[in-house]
Structure 1
């Protein structure tokens, strides 16, 4: 869940009072943001609308890990309030300031800025229905990340249909929505099938590795802010499986250890009786037993190509690839021979 916070956390969360009993009067001139008096918070906010119906499985899925040090924005600016709602909020902040002897000059500057024409007049009430006051937001799952404080600029106004000011890094755009959706992608969690099984590996005996068809299909998450008419869809497509045997004493098939993903979502070829001496299209052969070393950790890593489309962007735009892996402990024994 995503939380909003104001540009001056030290001043009591911008004067918001989640226990307020005041009514949530509707601002004329527009449909208005969601929320309101149902939870006692009169400062109803515009929220990102998420569509995760084409995402991966919930509890069985895993978050994607970017292959680089790239990460989605920890905070961003987005539309939040109609003028009437914003005035209520701003006056609460001002009230807190004027009752602080050290804050009275700041309070005067604050009111001049938002109501006295420097640069805004009367909280932009005459522009009701023509735009929104924008606030800063952060992902509450990263509440301990200092980067969430990168978005601490004071509230600002954006007319509907206009792009946000360029000086506000991470001001929400279709691209920023796509990056936020990246963080919500959930990838299938499924271990590869091994023949022989992980607990029954033999030295110099080829091991077949495969995943059944349909296991790896594209997944996507869409995000939109209907109030300002922008949306984006981020899609992850599986492109390959990399096998790491957990030891240098192994041969890989293919030699680089990368097995391609077929169009039906399968990887490799299932083992069939009588093929134990064949070279598998996807697999490996262990060359040394684990008797003296303990089990090897075989890691199967699926790479996902991730891109987005959205408002004003019909051709897919690449985002950093993501990976998701599963590790299996493998016991390898020497093949016993009988001498007659």
Structure 2
């Protein structure tokens, strides 16, 4: 993990705690910075609190209920140079909330006199902020950084200390690092999408044979669209990113193989990738599969790689949405090939 300042570490801890405890209700908003009529919320009425009873603001909530589950599920790799953001800034605290959490931190005296004095000067004593901007309650939010822990490289690019942004103003951060529009939230949600393992079913199911077509397909029930929703509580906007399987690419693990189709790319047809082998298909060419031209031998089984390409679409509050770069996820599996020229099925 990159080195983080004490302030940055404290903020990350607060955001994680707040995200676990907060729930939202849908509301309408426009899609500009500060849209949605953000309102100041007294921490005394906020139901989100950590173990010390301190009420916390909430930045972006990620809902992964419709994600793929299980230890073999994994994140998508965009097929282009684009990447989902590893970190971002979001409106997190009202003035009252930020004051309460800061004063609690200072009361613990855990960050040292000098650090606390610098923070008091900055946020409470008018250099540049006075009394945590309580005079601007309901007219903006304190912004902090958050991270996607799936993308450790890049965490340290969001090292700006907590700052204030008036409602309707563009936050003073790098392009692509402000979570304030539905499209921003879609980019963030992309990074949290997990899809199922790509292990394919093969026929023959055990060891296959040299020059024998091996059928390959995916379990239709396992390959349904998955989705993740990112919600920005303080602006009442959200976006849902949906990943839909499009095609399967097979790589046999050796150049001594013939692919079906010849490209090795099996398209999605009628909600299915590949066709299950059925009795009587022995003399047919599989629509998706491989024929190995030599035995795997003493070096061990071939590593058949199966990679799914997923189409990515998104919809957001008050906007039609669109598409994001396709993503892919692949795994390998062992295939043993025996030196037998023909068998009866």
TM over 0.5: yes
Report the counterpart of residue 203 of structure 2 in structure 1: 195
Cα distance change, pair 121–274 in 1 and its aligned pair in 2 (3 A): same
Report the counterpart of residue 22 of structure 1 in structure 2: none
Aligned pair partner of 1:233 in 229, 240, 249: 240
Give how far 1:111 is off.
5.3
> Distance in 1 between the 2:260 and 2:175 partners?
50
Aligned pair partner of 2:131 in 77, 98, 122: 122
**1:323 aligned onto 2:328:** yes
* 3-state SS in 1 of match to 2:189: helix
> Distance in 2 between the 1:309 and 1:30 partners?
28
Question: Is contact 1:206–1:277 with CA below 8 Å preserved after alignment?
Answer: no
Give how far 1:221 is off.
0.5
> Distance in 1 between the 2:312 and 2:129 partners?
41
Once the two structures are superposed, residues 3-58 of structure 1 have per-residue CA deviations (whole angstroms, 9 ceiling, x without a partner) of: xxxx84279848x99xxxxxxxxxx953655522x510525121423332322234
Question: Is contact 2:310–2:328 with CA below 8 Å preserved after alignment?
Answer: yes
Report the counterpart of residue 86 of structure 1 in structure 2: 98
Report the counterpart of residue 57 of structure 2 in structure 1: 45
Report the counterpart of residue 275 of structure 2 in structure 1: 269
Question: Is contact 1:160–1:228 with CA below 8 Å preserved after alignment?
Answer: no
Aligned pair partner of 2:301 in 295, 301, 321: 295
Once the two structures are superposed, residues 143-197 of structure 1 have per-residue CA deviations (whole angstroms, 9 ceiling, x without a partner) of: xx46322112232212345443355751213333223322321212252221122
Q: How do 1:57-68 residues align onto structure 2 when only pairs under 5 Å count? A: 57-68=69-80
Question: Is contact 2:215–2:286 with CA below 8 Å preserved after alignment?
Answer: yes
Q: How do 1:213-224 residues align onto structure 2 when only pairs under 5 Å count? A: 213-224=220-231
Q: How do 1:155-234 residues align onto structure 2 when only pairs under 5 Å count? A: 155-167=162-174, 170-173=177-180, 174-199=182-207, 201-234=208-241
> Distance in 2 between the 1:78 and 1:84 partners?
17
> Distance in 2 between the 1:255 and 1:217 partners?
26
**1:30 aligned onto 2:41:** yes
* 3-state SS in 1 of match to 2:268: coil
Once the two structures are superposed, residues 250-272 of structure 1 have per-residue CA deviations (whole angstroms, 9 ceiling, x without a partner) of: 111111000011232x1122222
Cα distance change, pair 42–181 in 1 and its aligned pair in 2 (3 A): same
Count how many residue pairs are aligned between Structure 1 and Structure 2. 310
Bigger radius of gyration, 1 or 2? 1
> Distance in 2 between the 1:98 and 1:60 partners?
44
> Distance in 2 between the 1:41 and 1:152 partners?
27
Cα distance change, pair 126–213 in 1 and its aligned pair in 2 (3 A): same
> Distance in 2 between the 1:138 and 1:290 partners?
45
Aligned pair partner of 1:285 in 268, 288, 291: 291
Report the counterpart of residue 4 of structure 1 in structure 2: none
> Distance in 1 between the 2:150 and 2:194 partners?
16
Question: Is contact 1:34–1:45 with CA below 8 Å preserved after alignment?
Answer: no
Once the two structures are superposed, residues 197-247 of structure 1 have per-residue CA deviations (whole angstroms, 9 ceiling, x without a partner) of: 241x11111111122333311110001022212211111111100111111
**1:9 aligned onto 2:20:** no
Runs of 4+ in 1 over 6 A off after TM superposition: 92-98
Q: Normalization by structure 2: what TM-score?
A: 0.76
Query: Which deviates the most, 248-257 or 42-51?
Result: 42-51
> Distance in 2 between the 1:47 and 1:235 partners?
22
